[in-house]
């Protein structure tokens, strides 16, 4: 059975969960599914406990669950009780439970993606540029992850000693049989400094894992509301909600209002229905209201981006998108209790423990933003939840410009932290080095997580020319003309269009004039006169005069001809001894030139024998 077919089967297998109807884990989330009513369950908002008990008594209903801080309860009712509940004194509303859907794309095969690392999203969101001091300061803040539970033995999560609670089981046992919650939690708050596995986006932030679903991943708006209330009441400053559905409810709205009133920042996945009608997804569209174009709101709705910096095709889009974060083929920790056929394992070189894999969905974009929020708050603890949200939006890759696909752009954690501190981001340098051999120059360059490079050269201070544009190469070799100065520079661009330039690499090729002096002397040889010719080679003092190859030429009355060659000795002198018949001769010496030396010709010398 394929993963997609298993998801369809799950959608059809609607189960009742401790007074709640169904939440189904889906891939690219479908349009509003046809959900059967949970047998006899009603969600009511009540003004007082007395009013609740009176309404239950009069309608013949039984209270099966309460969320006291929200004044919300779940009642099991007889068929005729619905009308009585709606009109009972002190009952604000009476509705059926509303399903919620996890936002993960199970159809993407687990395979390494471009980006330079298994967890490519960490550097793509510039988490790697945040200082160790900020990562540690985040320990003062708690991120609550409301999801399918947690594998508390996963190395990156175990080291956090996470607090746990199951709102459906009323216990601290949050065993994650489904696996979604563990993956999400590893992205939000996995340990970033334990030299094992993956690095969460929240640094040393504390983790509160709240299980709101069973092993099949089903839960409702009531479970969601109860989990939000529990997170607020137990000190969470940030709540991640990687789930949703096409409709909201009064219980959900009460819970969101409760968290907002307590200064908690809520972050939610925008939805995976970008190719299936793109209906708004809740609670994301409660946090960033429809029609707001990213302005205001009580939290953040997060869409998914790809390794190339575009909106993932499955991701929802529209006026309720706050910002985006990597969500296609991202890498995270897997629950050891999850089904390997649903969560395929990926070996992680250098990791000694834990299981890991790839996943896609706005479910995995949202916790990255939630983790980054903890770092922003650590950088400036005086910020309000709205202030943290505003900084995350304005520092994203759009730099203040909003679009329906990516909101204010892709998460830029380093810029967000710097903005919270009132500083600027300290970027690593593009490393550019070179070597020279004669007129040939070899260059090499590198930059962490670069998507492409651009190599330019300026000759003698003129405007730069592009030698290589948008290349993935990291080396190049060039033959240069002597007598000029060259200044090379490399600009690196990451997958999100951010650029960083190298310091220039300057090469100067001096071009020295050469002087040749030719003299002749007559020597006697048997039966024939001989002439000794000596040529002195001289140039700049920094240039060796030894070992220079000189060409002796003779003139026949019409043109010069090659006669003989000789190399200069340690003193820069080359000599020839030539036996000649009687007559008149003319000689000269020619030097062809070298990388740093100009060609030269000596004066002509006349010889008569």
Active site members: 147, 180, 363
Nearest to 249 by CA among 16, 74, 11: 74
* Cβ proximity of 596 and 511 under 8 Å: yes
- Residues in the chain, total: 609
Q: What is the 3-state secondary structure (H, E, C) of 418-471?
A: HHHHCCCCCCCCEEEEEEEECCEEEEEEECCCEEEEEEEEEECCCCCEEEEEEE
CA distances from 16 to 37, 229, 380 (A): 10, 21, 44
* Residue 503, CA atoms < 13 Å, CB-side half-sphere: 6
The alpha carbon torsion through 582, 583, 584, 585 (nearest 10 deg) reads -60
Which residue reads 């998914």 in tokens?
Answer: 304
Nearest to 188 by CA among 154, 221, 142: 142
* Cβ proximity of 297 and 268 under 8 Å: no
- How far, in Å, CA of 122 to CA of 134, rounded? 16
- How far, in Å, CA of 384 to CA of 463, rounded? 48
* Cβ proximity of 552 and 567 under 8 Å: no
- Between vectors from CA 198 to CA 196 and to CA 202, what angle results, nearest 5°? 115
Q: Is 131 exposed, middle or buried (0-12, 13-18, 19+ CB in 10 A)?
A: middle
Both tokens assigned to 565: 């060659």
* Cβ proximity of 397 and 349 under 8 Å: no
Which residue reads 């040939």 in tokens?
Answer: 440
Helix (H, G, I), strand (E, B) or coil at 186: helix
Nearest to 214 by CA among 24, 356, 39: 24
The alpha carbon torsion through 441, 446, 450, 451 (nearest 10 deg) reads 30
Helix (H, G, I), strand (E, B) or coil at 364: helix
- How far, in Å, CA of 323 to CA of 397, rounded? 9
* Cβ proximity of 285 and 246 under 8 Å: no
Q: What is the 3-state secondary structure (H, E, C) of 388-425?
A: HHHHHHHCCCCCCCCECCCECCECCHHHHHHHHHCCCC
CA distances from 197 to 192, 358, 523 (A): 9, 13, 86
């Amino acid at each position: 059975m394929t993963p997609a077919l298993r998801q369809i089967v799950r959608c059809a297998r609607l189960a009742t969960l401790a007074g709640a109807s169904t939440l189904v884990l889906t891939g690219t989330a479908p349009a509003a599914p046809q959900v059967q009513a949970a047998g006899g369950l009603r969600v009511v908002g009540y003004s007082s406990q007395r009013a609740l008990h009176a309404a239950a008594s009069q309608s013949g209903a039984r209270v099966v669950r309460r969320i006291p801080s929200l004044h919300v309860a779940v009642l099991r009712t007889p068929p005729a009780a619905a009308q009585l509940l709606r009109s009972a004194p002190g009952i604000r509303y009476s509705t059926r439970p509303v399903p919620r859907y996890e936002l993960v794309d199970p159809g993407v095969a687990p395979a390494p993606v471009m980006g330079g690392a298994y967890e490519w999203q960490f550097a793509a969101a510039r988490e790697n540029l945040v200082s160790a001091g900020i990562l540690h300061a985040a320990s003062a803040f708690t991120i609550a992850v409301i999801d399918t539970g947690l594998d508390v033995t996963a190395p990156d999560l175990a080291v956090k000693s996470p607090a746990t609670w199951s709102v459906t089981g009323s216990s601290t046992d949050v065993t994650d049989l489904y696996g979604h919650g563990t993956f999400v939690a590893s992205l939000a708050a996995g340990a970033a400094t334990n030299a094992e596995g993956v690095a969460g986006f929240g640094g040393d932030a504390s983790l509160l894992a709240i299980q709101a679903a069973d092993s099949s991943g089903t839960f409702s708006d009531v479970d969601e509301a109860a989990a939000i209330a529990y997170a607020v009441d137990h000190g969470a400053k940030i709540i991640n909600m990687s789930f949703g559905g096409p409709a909201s409810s009064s219980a959900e709205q009460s819970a969101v209002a409760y968290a907002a009133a307590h200064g908690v920042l809520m972050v939610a996945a925008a939805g995976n229905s970008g190719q299936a009608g793109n209906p708004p997804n809740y609670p994301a569209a409660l946090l960033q209201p429809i029609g707001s174009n990213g302005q205001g709101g009580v939290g953040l709705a997060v869409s998914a981006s790809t390794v190339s910096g575009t909106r993932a095709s499955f991701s929802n889009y529209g006026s309720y998108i706050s910002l985006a974060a990597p969500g296609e083929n991202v890498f995270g920790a897997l629950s050891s209790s999850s089904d390997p056929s649903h969560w395929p394992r990926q070996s992680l070189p250098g990791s000694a423990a834990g299981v890991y894999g790839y996943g896609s969905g706005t479910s995995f974009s949202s916790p990255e933003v939630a983790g980054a929020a903890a770092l922003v708050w650590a950088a400036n603890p005086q910020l309000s939840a709205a202030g943290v949200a505003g900084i995350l939006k304005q520092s994203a890759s759009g730099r203040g410009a909003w679009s329906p696909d990516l909101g204010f752009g892709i998460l830029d954690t380093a810029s967000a932290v710097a903005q919270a501190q009132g500083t600027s981001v300290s970027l690593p340098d593009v490393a550019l080095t070179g070597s020279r051999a004669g007129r040939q120059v070899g260059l090499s360059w590198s930059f962490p997580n670069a998507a492409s490079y651009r190599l330019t050269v300026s000759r003698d201070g003129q405007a730069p020319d592009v030698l290589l544009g948008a290349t993935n190469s990291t080396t190049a070799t060039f033959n240069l003309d002597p007598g000029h100065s060259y200044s090379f520079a490399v600009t690196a661009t990451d997958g999100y269009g951010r650029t960083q330039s190298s310091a220039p690499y300057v090469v100067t090729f001096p071009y020295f004039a050469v002087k040749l002096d030719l003299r002749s002397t007559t020597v006697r040889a048997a039966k024939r006169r001989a002439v000794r010719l000596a040529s002195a080679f001289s140039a700049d003092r920094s240039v060796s005069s030894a070992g220079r190859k000189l060409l002796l030429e003779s003139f026949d009355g019409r043109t010069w001809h090659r006669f003989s060659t000789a190399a200069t000795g340690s003193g820069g002198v080359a000599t020839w001894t030539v036996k000649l018949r009687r007559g008149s001769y003319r000689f000269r010496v020619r030097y062809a030139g070298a990388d740093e030396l100009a060609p030269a010709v000596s004066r002509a010398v006349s010889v008569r024998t």
